[in-house]
A and B are shown apart, each in its own frame.
Chain A
Amino acid sequence: MSRRRSENALKAAPVFAALGDATRLRIVTRLSADGPSSIARLTGGSGVTRQAVSKHLQVLAAAGLVRVGRHGRESSWELEPSRLAEARRSLDLISQRWDEALGRLETFLEKN
């Protein structure tokens, strides 16, 4: 367990570093909620300059958290991995929790 954990922690380090900043965390949250967005849109209401947002996006991209795509004339940024993959994985997690809960129900009924 500890070995797997430390390997995961190692892989996760750049992600933590990338997220350890209020502006970048806000960008990620916004992309999660709104989907692909232009830099202009991400800058709006953020209180930082377009150049700063652009720099933060580069850091997030380097950590594999976001990627750039093209929609028409303007480039837009989106979360990586794809939404569907995220949805599937999170469903897997909840599915696993139900397996655990039903296992506990079975044990509970045996004992009570």
Chain B
Amino acid sequence: MGTRTDRIEKKITLRVPPSRVWRALTDAREFGAWFQVKLEGAFAPGARVKGQIETPGYEHLTMEITVERMDPERLFSYRWHPYAIDPEVDYSSEPTTLVEFRLAPAPEGTLLTVVESGFDRIPVARRAEAYRMNDGGWAAQLENIERHVASKK
């Protein structure tokens, strides 16, 4: 915990009250609209919610989150698999990262802090994949190669 490679932290001030931000985060349909994922089901503590990614170039992927905490207008958190980029791989047995959205009232509206942590427990293989995927130009080609090779086994 707390190492430079274990967590990502982001802060953004949004010009709307916490109640509005809360809805955008915890209404699965609203979340999907900006996160670019078509989710099936509603968020509730303990709920597992799945969906098809709608980000251009990643439409072949699905994501699944397990909701942890929902403290209205304060904290929304879930767990997921951060490098789940290969549709052929079952990631379910691997460690997850924790994503926390923390809301606080600010003079301009709401201060939203996002922390994703637990990366140090993720197998290096996944990191290496994500690393190779970093260059958009490579992504499709590498996938094609992997698929091609896998089909010839």
**A binding-site residues for B, Cβ under 8 Å:** 4-5, 8-9, 12, 16, 19-22, 25, 28-29, 32-33, 35, 79, 83-84, 86-95, 98-99, 101-102, 104-110, 112
Contact = CB atoms under 8 A, between A and B. Distances in A.
A90 B15 contact: no
Q: Helix, strand, loop or mixed for chain B's interface?
A: helix
Given A12-B141, A19-B142, A99-B10, A93 B133 contact: yes
B135 interface: yes
B127 A104 contact: no
Interface in B96-153: 112, 114, 116, 119, 123-125, 127-131, 133-135, 137-138, 141-142, 145-146, 148-150, 152-153
Interface of B: 4-5, 8, 10, 12, 14-16, 20-21, 24, 30, 33-36, 82-83, 112, 114, 116, 119, 123-125, 127-131, 133-135, 137-138, 141-142, 145-146, 148-150, 152-153
